[in-house]
């Protein structure tokens, strides 16, 4: 049985990024922990501004913090807005970690990303592969910021004795995802592409590159369950991978999405576009040693997300629904 080192019962828990896909999933998961959940709207504080973050943290005095706020996006967003990806993410994580230390936060969990690993890392990727090779150029700006966040938790643990830990989730999908074709990650963008193609009666959809790169995917609710478990049961310097343990080619992923959405056309390839990292399957042995296992399979999860997409995302485009948020944004500040 896994030993609980940090019980959440009765704690004041701040989820930074609570409106984003991961943050909202953590909020849902924490609802069963008998704790007080703290959130703050981006109109109240800007997490990129140190003075605002420190003032709010000093006043709110949370016991635990989950750093799920980040500027996110796919290959195109990284390529067109590199300064924002680097600056915004560096500022958000640095301000939250420093303010948490100053406020005496007992536990902090930083959420990294699987893009921190070298482009040609040995598969499955162990935590020790960090900084052993060159990054994938198409998302290097986001990766550098996330690596810095992991190193921040290690530095504050070593210098100040803070119980700050880092997790490294794989490619996530779920409710509140970004389905924008230009700025979203591959899975939600493919759902949007297949759905739109079905409605237009297109004969084919086009995917970037060869479709041969392999990716690992995990439903965000399974990720949130793992992250809360680690917050309660893990206290160590090294980051912990959070993955499903299974990968799939982008082409096969596209086929599943087309089947779920009901698009029956062909799948074509734009070979002028990059493939990105050839493979990215993480070794989650350390996480599984705590007894965690994912509950949702890939097809089941995609079907659930498509139902959510039909119910929520399309409502944004309805008349009088208001303007849509930009595709590349700082989530849940």
Give the catalytic positions in this structure.
Answer: 142
Q: What is the DSSP letter of 125?
A: B
Contacts of 332 (CB under 8 A, 6+ apart): 16, 17, 18, 19, 20, 23, 24, 42, 68, 69
How far is Cα 54 from Cα 138, in angstroms, rounded to an integer? 33
How far is Cα 160 from Cα 92, in angstroms, rounded to an integer? 20
User: Which helix or strand (DSSP H or E) is residue 204 part of?
Assistant: strand 204-208
SS3 content of the chain, % helix, strand, coil (to 5): 45, 15, 40
By three-state DSSP, how is residue 277 classified? coil
By three-state DSSP, how is residue 61 classified? coil
Residue 50: exposure state from Cβ atoms within 10 A (0-12, 13-18, ≥19): middle
Contacts of 180 (CB under 8 A, 6+ apart): 189, 192, 327, 328
Query: What is the token pair recorded at 37?
Result: 């959940």
């Amino acid at each position: 049985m896994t030993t609980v080192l940090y019980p959440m019962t009765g704690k004041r828990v701040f989820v930074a990024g609570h409106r984003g896909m991961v943050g909202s999933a953590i909020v849902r998961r924490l609802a069963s922990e008998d704790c007080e959940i703290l959130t703050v709207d981006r109109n109240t504080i800007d997490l990129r501004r140190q003075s605002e973050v420190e003032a709010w943290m000093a006043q709110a005095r949370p016991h635990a913090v989950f750093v799920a706020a980040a500027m996110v996006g796919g290959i195109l967003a990284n390529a067109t807005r590199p300064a924002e990806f680097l600056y915004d993410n560096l500022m958000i994580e640095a301000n939250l970690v420093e303010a948490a230390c100053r406020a005496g936060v007992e536990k902090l969990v930083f959420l990294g990303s699987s893009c921190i690993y070298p482009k040609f890392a040995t598969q499955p990727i162990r935590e020790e592969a960090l900084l052993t090779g060159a990054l994938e150029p198409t998302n290097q700006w986001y990766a550098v910021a996330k690596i810095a966040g992991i190193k921040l938790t290690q530095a504050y643990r070593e210098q100040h004795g803070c119980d700050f830990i880092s997790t490294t989730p794989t490619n996530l999908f779920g409710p509140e995802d970004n389905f924008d074709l230009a700025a979203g990650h591959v899975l939600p963008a493919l759902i949007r592409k297949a759905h739109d193609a079905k409605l237009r009666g297109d004969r084919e959809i086009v995917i970037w590159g060869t479709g041969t790169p392999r990716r690992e995917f995990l439903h965000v609710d399974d990720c949130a369950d793992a992250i809360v478990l680690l917050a309660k049961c893990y206290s160590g310097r090294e980051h912990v991978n959070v993955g499903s343990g299974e990968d799939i080619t982008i082409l096969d992923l596209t086929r599943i999405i087309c089947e779920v959405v009901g698009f029956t056309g062909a799948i074509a390839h734009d070979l002028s576009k990059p493939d990105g990292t050839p493979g990215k399957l993480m070794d989650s042995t350390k996480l599984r040693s705590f007894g965690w296992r994912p509950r949702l399979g890939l097809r089941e999860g995609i079907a659930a997300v498509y139902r959510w997409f039909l119910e929520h995302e399309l409502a944004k485009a309805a008349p009088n629904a208001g303007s849509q948020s930009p595709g590349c944004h700082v989530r849940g500040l």
